[in-house]
Amino acid sequence: MNKSDWQLLAIIIIIIISLFAITSLFNYNNSTIATVYYDNNIVLTLDLSIDENREYRVKGYNGDVVIETKKDMIRVKEEISPLHICSRQGWVKSTYEVIVCLPNKVVITLSDNKNKLDTVVR
Amino acid sequence: MKKTRQQYLTRGLILIFIGIIMLIIFYYQRSTEHQTNMFYLDTYISVKIYTHDKKKATEALQEVDRIYQQYHQLADSYQAYDNINNIYYFNEVALVNEKVKIEPELYHLIQYGLDAYKQTNGLVNIALGNVIDIWHTYRDNADGIPTKEELQKAGSTNINNLILHKNYLMEKTTDIKLDLGSITKGYATQVVGDYLTNLGIDKYLINAGGNVKVGNHYQKNRYKIGLKEPKPNSNNIFKVINANNISVVTSGSYERFYQYDGKIYHHIIDPLTLFPPNYFYAVTVITPNNALADVLSTALFLMDLESGQAFIKSFNNVDVIWYDINNKIHYSAGIKNYE
């Protein structure tokens, strides 16, 4: 190994380290991501730090489910079901909470990278 | 001169090649996540597995869905399904002394229920259906509580009135009704965990509405499992369990309950008093086997703290967190291993 070999090695190491840095940077941005499932299929993915103050309609088993967003928060505004459990649940901002509209087969989960837990026992 | 430049170039290419290999290895170690969600056993079940084999992952998650669906149908006491004799059939259709042919899976599940009865000195009783039905009616109307006489007259809750014969036949000798709610979630979750492990998928995370089971971690770490404060409308995490290859199961009184006369009546009924006890908001059991964790969390929920602490001494590798109704939290000695 002579001088230019070492230079080349250094360049490669720098490239690898910066790739690591870039990927971990992507993993640690602080946005809250809401994922909306209908019958186990993802129908909507929202970044709640960008998609704020908006309304979305997704298909539910009994008809449309209306979802409203605010900064880092989400709720089900309207849905058709006997007890309205998921619209009564109101605004959800914690990643420990799940919105489950059982009659409509719609589930909304929140995730962010500040939350270091893998799962929660409730 | 020309020769050395070529040498540099070759060496350089080799180094770049090594670098690329290192990157590939690094990314390959980060197994990709595959997830499925489903509604069975009156709860929302989420299963995550970590593998690079996409085809295997898809097949595995389909089978996981099938397993949970099968146990859901077998244990269902509200409706019948085509071509299977389930708990609804046994409770509502089958005659006294009729020998009912059941699936091997249901047979083994009931066998597990009988073992659980012995293991917990009768605190986990799958023959409590008659009493549970009455509580359900009161809870649905959210008005009043049944009297002790009403509960005692509800019908037999004697587990000895249930007989398992050879060749997957079962029989009731009185009007007993089975309710497998206290064992099925844990049992099915354990079956799913075993299935994934046998398939070679050892990295997984299952959360079946309060029953959590994890395998190896998807990176070189431990899973962080949060325990939610057992209060309505609370999102605080009061404890984090760090572990791999473990089950964490909570029995709690704060999600399915109703209030009457200032008192809370929840869904876990003491087979001896026929009423829900009032020692704890939640009891969490930490042990590798999910079916055992489910059974023990129910049993411990029905005992006072001292009895529970004495009871778990006969088990290896079982740890417990009791959250009592005075908001005091009690830990078994081994909990420090999960911090």
What is the tally of structural domains in chain A? 2
Q: Is B23 on the interface with A (CB under 8 A)?
A: yes
Q: Is B13 on the interface with A (CB under 8 A)?
A: no
Question: A40 and B36 in contact by Cβ < 8 A?
Answer: yes
Report the 3 state secondary structure along B95-124. Answer: CCCCCEECCHHHHHHHHHHHHHHHHCCCCC
Q: Are residues A16 and A50 in the same domain?
A: no
Ordered strands of the A98-101 beta sheet: A41-47, A33-38, A106-111, A98-101
Domain extent, residue A69, equals 33-111
- Cα separation of B11 and A21, whole Å? 27
Q: Are residues A23 and A65 in the same domain?
A: no
- Least CB–CB distance from A98: residue in B38, B44, B240: B44
Size of interface A-B (CB pairs under 8 A): 80
E strand intervals along A19-72: 33-38, 41-47, 54-60, 63-70
pLDDT, tens only, B46-86 = 999 999 899 999 999 999 999 999 999 999 999 999 989 99
Q: Is A8 on the interface with B (CB under 8 A)?
A: yes
Q: Under a CB-based contact definition with an 8 Å cutoff, are residues B47 and B175 in contact?
A: no
How far is the alpha carbon of A52 from chain B, nearest alpha carbon, in Å? 23
Neighbours of B160 (CB within 10 A): 12
Q: Are residues A50 and A9 in the same domain?
A: no
- Least CB–CB distance from B240: residue in A13, A107, A117: A117
Closest residue by Cα to residue B116 from B292, B282, B267: B292
Q: Under a CB-based contact definition with an 8 Å cutoff, are residues B125 and B115 in contact?
A: no
Task: Domain B78-178: state its class.
Answer: mainly alpha
- Indicate if the pLDDT at residue A29 is higher than 60: no
Question: B205 and A119 in contact by Cβ < 8 A?
Answer: yes
The answer to the question of residue A121 being in a domain is no
Q: Is B334 left (phi over 0), alpha (psi -120 to 50) or beta?
A: alpha
Task: Tell me which residues of chain A, numbers 39 to 78, contact chain B at a CB-CB cutoff of 8 Å.
Answer: 40
- Cα separation of B74 and A9, whole Å? 63
How far is the alpha carbon of A63 from chain B, nearest alpha carbon, in Å? 19
pTM of the model: 0.82
pLDDT, tens only, A16-25 = 888 877 766 6
Q: Are residues A47 and A100 in the same domain?
A: yes
The answer to the question of residue A101 being in a domain is yes
How far is the alpha carbon of B295 from chain A, nearest alpha carbon, in Å? 16
Return the pLDDT at B27. 66
Question: A40 and B224 in contact by Cβ < 8 A?
Answer: no
Residue of B nearest to A103 (CA): B39
Tens place of pLDDT for every residue, chain B, 339 residues? 556 777 777 877 887 888 788 777 766 655 688 999 999 998 889 999 999 899 999 999 999 999 999 999 999 999 999 989 999 999 999 999 999 999 999 999 999 999 999 999 999 999 999 999 999 888 888 778 999 999 999 999 999 999 999 999 999 999 999 999 999 999 999 999 999 999 999 999 999 988 999 999 998 899 999 998 998 777 788 999 999 999 999 998 776 777 777 777 888 999 999 999 999 999 999 999 999 999 999 999 999 999 999 999 999 999 999 999 999 999 999 999 999
Q: Which fold has domain B222-338?
A: T-fold (3.10.520)
The answer to the question of residue A119 being in a domain is no
Neighbours of B251 (CB within 10 A): 25
Closest residue by Cα to residue B271 from B134, B158, B140: B158
Mean pLDDT, range A34-60, rounded to an integer: 87
Q: Are residues A76 and A89 in the same domain?
A: yes
pLDDT, tens only, B16-57 = 888 788 777 766 655 688 999 999 998 889 999 999 899 999
Q: Is B207 on the interface with A (CB under 8 A)?
A: yes
The answer to the question of residue A120 being in a domain is no
Q: Are residues A16 and A54 in the same domain?
A: no
Give chain B's mean pLDDT: 92
Residue A35, SS3? Answer: strand
Q: Are residues A19 and A44 in the same domain?
A: no
Q: Are residues A21 and A38 in the same domain?
A: no
Q: Under a CB-based contact definition with an 8 Å cutoff, are residues B92 and B179 in contact?
A: no
Q: Are residues A9 and A51 in the same domain?
A: no
Residue A12, SS3? Answer: helix
pLDDT, tens only, B99-125 = 999 999 999 999 999 999 999 999 999
Q: Is B225 on the interface with A (CB under 8 A)?
A: yes
Q: Are residues A16 and A67 in the same domain?
A: no
Q: Are residues A21 and A63 in the same domain?
A: no
Residue A77 maps to which CATH number? 2.60.320.10
- Residue A7 banded pLDDT, cuts 50, 70, 90: confident
Q: Under a CB-based contact definition with an 8 Å cutoff, are residues B193 and B204 in contact?
A: yes
Q: Where are the domains of chain B?
A: 78-178, 222-338
Q: Are residues A24 and A40 in the same domain?
A: no
Type of residue found at B25 = I
Give chain A's mean pLDDT: 83
- Least CB–CB distance from A5: residue in B11, B237, B255: B11
